[in-house]
């Protein structure tokens, strides 16, 4: 094998494209239990903001430990995510234990948010809990066993 072009040690950030920034921001605030650390969503309808990278395209960014997760509101209204097209399949967030996955499932139930079952992935050494965001992007909470 040849020398790699680079040796990343982690992901710097993940940003997903959404159709409705207010709806998605509220969903992720509830899901992650925090407010964005960068937020230009109140400017999303101002001229040029959706094209301005310095204003994060009218989106917002959530801090997750040493990494960040962002929302970019440039998808046309009514468009839905499709994990079987080129690009993103799902986003997985790490939780500290399987017990935390069960607690998250209980909180999703209380919030009326539909979700999958807490599922052990056999030889993969992890357990997951899946939920769809408002644009049908598959999100996964994962705990390593």
Q: Please answer whether residues 125 and 114 qualify as being in contact, where contact means their C-beta atoms are separated by less than 8 angstroms.
A: no
The pLDDT score that the predictor gives to residue 113 is 95
| pLDDT tens digits, one per residue of 18-31 | 999 999 999 999 99
- Which of the pair, 5 or 113, is modelled with greater confidence? 113
The pLDDT score that the predictor gives to residue 2 is 81
Which pTM was predicted?
0.89
| pLDDT tens digits, one per residue of 51-106 | 999 999 999 999 999 889 999 999 898 999 998 888 889 999 999 999 999 999 99
H-type alpha helices, the chain: 21-32, 98-110
Q: Please say if the pLDDT value at position 34 is more than 80.
A: yes
- Residue 85, token pair as written in the block: 């097209």
What does residue 55 show for φ and ψ, rounded to 5 degrees?
Answer: -110, 20
Q: Given the structure tokens 């950030």, which residue do they identify?
A: 13
Q: Please say if the pLDDT value at position 1 is more than 80.
A: no
Handedness of CA 107, 110, 115, 121 (dihedral sign): positive
Q: Which of 37, 32, 138 is nearest to 95 (CA)?
A: 32
- Residue 19, token pair as written in the block: 């159709």
Q: Please say if the pLDDT value at position 45 is more than 90.
A: yes
Q: Please say if the pLDDT value at position 46 is more than 90.
A: yes
């Amino acid at each position: 094998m040849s020398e790699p072009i680079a040796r990343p040690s982690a992901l710097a950030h993940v940003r997903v494209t959404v159709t409705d920034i207010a709806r998605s921001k509220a969903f992720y605030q509830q899901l992650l239990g925090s407010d964005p650390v960068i937020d230009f969503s109140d400017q999303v309808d101002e001229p040029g903001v959706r094209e301005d990278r310095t204003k994060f395209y009218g989106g917002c960014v959530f801090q997750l430990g040493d990494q960040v997760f962002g929302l970019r509101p440039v998808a046309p209204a009514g468009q839905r995510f499709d994990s079987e097209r080129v690009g993103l399949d799902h986003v997985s967030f790490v939780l500290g234990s399987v017990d935390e996955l069960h607690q998250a499932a209980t909180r999703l139930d209380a919030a009326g948010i539909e979700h999958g079952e807490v599922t052990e992935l056999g030889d993969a050494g992890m357990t997951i809990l899946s939920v769809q965001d408002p644009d049908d992007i598959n999100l996964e909470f994962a705990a390593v066993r």
